[in-house]
Every structure is written in C-alpha cells, then in structure tokens.
Amino acid sequence: MTTKPRRETAAKRPISITAVVDCVGALAAGDLRGHLYMYDTNKAGGSTGFGSEELQTKAVRGDQILWNCLALECEAYVAIEDIVIDREVCEPERKVYPGTDVAYWIGTVKKADAGPITYQLKFKLGTRDQPISTTLSSSLVG
C-alpha cells in the first residue's frame, strides 16, 4: 500500500490592522475623535467599519492579529503605546521589526465566540508625554 505524501498547509497570514492617525488634528483637539482611520486585511472575511474609529475585525480562535499605525502627515510621530483588550481573548505583545526601530503589536485570538470583543488603542503622538486613547472602540467579532 502506498501512501500519498502529506501536503503541508501554508501558514495562515495574520490579519493586519492599520490605524492611520491625523497627528496634527489629534494633538490640536486633544483626542482622536475624527482623526483616526482604521483598516484591516480581512474585508473578504467579513470585517466592516473601514476608515472609521469603529473597525469590526472578523476574527476566529487561532487567528493572529497584527496591529500597526501610520501618521497621516509624513513628518509626524505616532506609535501604539498600548492595546487595552480582555487578555483572556487576546494578549497583544509589542515587537520590533528586525534591524529597525519600527514597532508593531501581535497577538493570537484565544476565543472569539463571546460576541464583539472591544478594545482601545493608546497612541504616543509627537512630543506629547501622555498617550491619547481612542474614545470609540474597535472590536474583534467572531
């Protein structure tokens, strides 16, 4: 009896969530309302709310989520300082791309069957000492 060679399955790509921040507007206003545009790479999988502060990312148990950010203005500084989410659902960890000082956050969804799991992002903007948090919550939806 011959057996067929076992097919290796390709590693699943992480769902990338990108926050585009209007740093100048957010610093002038003192908050992110109207100055944050969220996107992810899972629109085909059912994510909604693109370009808003209330992105609904479709994710299931085992999915890796990668958060990163960009400044709308080319010379402005923005970085994710923290991600506030139920750690029983996902535990994001700050990492740095090798050979750079560019940071990102990554975590694996531990469970996503309890309805929308909201989270907040805290950003460092410009030279401001205190992080600015999102006021509207994005979420992971199962």
Flag whether 6 is in a domain.
Answer: no
Distances (CA, A) of 22 to 30, 33, 55, 75, 104: 12, 10, 17, 11, 18
Per-residue pLDDT of the chain (142 residues; tens, 9 = 90+): 555 544 444 567 899 999 999 999 999 999 999 999 999 999 999 999 999 999 999 999 999 999 999 999 989 999 999 999 999 999 999 999 999 998 999 999 998 666 799 999 999 999 999 999 998 889 999 8
Flag whether 121 is in a domain.
Answer: yes
Flag whether 106 is in a domain.
Answer: yes
Which residues touch 81 (CB under 8 Å, ≥6 apart)? 122, 123, 124, 131
Number of domains in the chain: 1
Flag whether 8 is in a domain.
Answer: no
pTM for this entry: 0.88
Closest Cα partner for 123 from 93, 84, 90? 84
Flag whether 114 is in a domain.
Answer: yes
Give the residue numbers spanning the domain of 52: 15-141
Flag whether 5 is in a domain.
Answer: no
Flag whether 76 is in a domain.
Answer: yes
Flag whether 26 is in a domain.
Answer: yes
Answer for the pair 122, 131: CB distance below 8 angstroms, yes or no: yes
